[in-house]
Amino acid sequence: METKKSYFQQLNSINCNEHTEKKNGLTYLSWAWAWAKVKNEFPDAFYTVYENPELGLPYFTDGHTAMVKASVTINGLEHPEWLPIMDYRNVSIPVDKVTSMDVNKAIQRALTKACARHGLGLYIYAGEDLPEDAPEGEAAPAPAPKKAPQKAAKKPTVFSLPEGVKGLSREQYNTYVRNVAVGLRSQSEVEKGFREACGADDIAIGLFRKDVNDYTAAMQ
């Protein structure tokens, strides 16, 4: 007896390979195609771009860098995505250098990632060649020409406590860093909690922001 697929399985089994492109060694899925596919499969789906109520703008900032928040809702389930506003090197852009084009691109990428949280193209972010339950006999795309091996950058996973920080363990500090880097909580919210937890001064906050940027870059 055939079991009906969940909506996640339905989206997760779609092959998106013909609608991707590579930039700087990373694979990107076309946001326009991803949204069209979601709407074709689930006409009631909708997306939300969150606006900063303090600025009246579609991005959030800690005064140094900026992030966007967008979500996709399918079958009443919302999946939000926080994404730093980054340049072509995937490095956070200083907020005073952010342009409307940078914000627009970040929103498009955030929406595409939100679609992936519902299943569409999730395998791309997991580094796979084909989605789960791909049609039998379907081949993966031809591999790209091999390039000379490069020394992989060391991915920072554990950071030392900034000098002068008291009352926090290194593990707790790294949780603060990861929460901002993966978009679980806003940077301004986490920084406020960080200051209150250990009385962090501006120097410690500056080191915290650097660790967040390093961790964010390493995840890309």
Q: Looking at the domain assignment, is residue 150 inside a domain?
A: no
- At 158-214, the pLDDT tens digits run 778 787 777 778 888 888 887 777 776 777 877 787 777 777 788 888 888 888 887
Averaged pLDDT of the chain: 81
Residue the block writes with tokens 């937890």:
197
Same domain, 107 and 196: no
Q: Looking at the domain assignment, is residue 156 inside a domain?
A: no
Measure the CA–CA gap between 97 and 18, rounded to whole angstroms: 34
Write down the pLDDT at residue 204: 82
Measure the CA–CA gap between 134 and 208, rounded to whole angstroms: 43
58: domain CATH number is 3.30.160.20
Q: Looking at the domain assignment, is residue 141 inside a domain?
A: no
- At 102-119, the pLDDT tens digits run 999 999 999 999 999 999
Q: How confident is the model at residue 58 (pLDDT cuts 50, 70, 90)?
A: very high
Q: Looking at the domain assignment, is residue 153 inside a domain?
A: no
Same domain, 95 and 204: no
Q: Looking at the domain assignment, is residue 1 inside a domain?
A: no
Number of domains, the chain:
2
Q: Looking at the domain assignment, is residue 137 inside a domain?
A: no
Q: Looking at the domain assignment, is residue 34 inside a domain?
A: yes
Residue 60 pLDDT > 90: yes
Same domain, 106 and 215: no
pTM, two decimal places: 0.58
Q: Which two tokens stand for residue 80?
A: 């939000």
Residue 155 pLDDT > 80: no
- Phi-psi sector, 85: left (phi>0), alpha (psi -120 to 50), beta: beta
Q: Which domain holds residue 37?
A: 7-125
Q: Looking at the domain assignment, is residue 14 inside a domain?
A: yes
Last residue of a domain, one of 125, 150, 185: 125
Q: Which two tokens stand for residue 117?
A: 């949280």
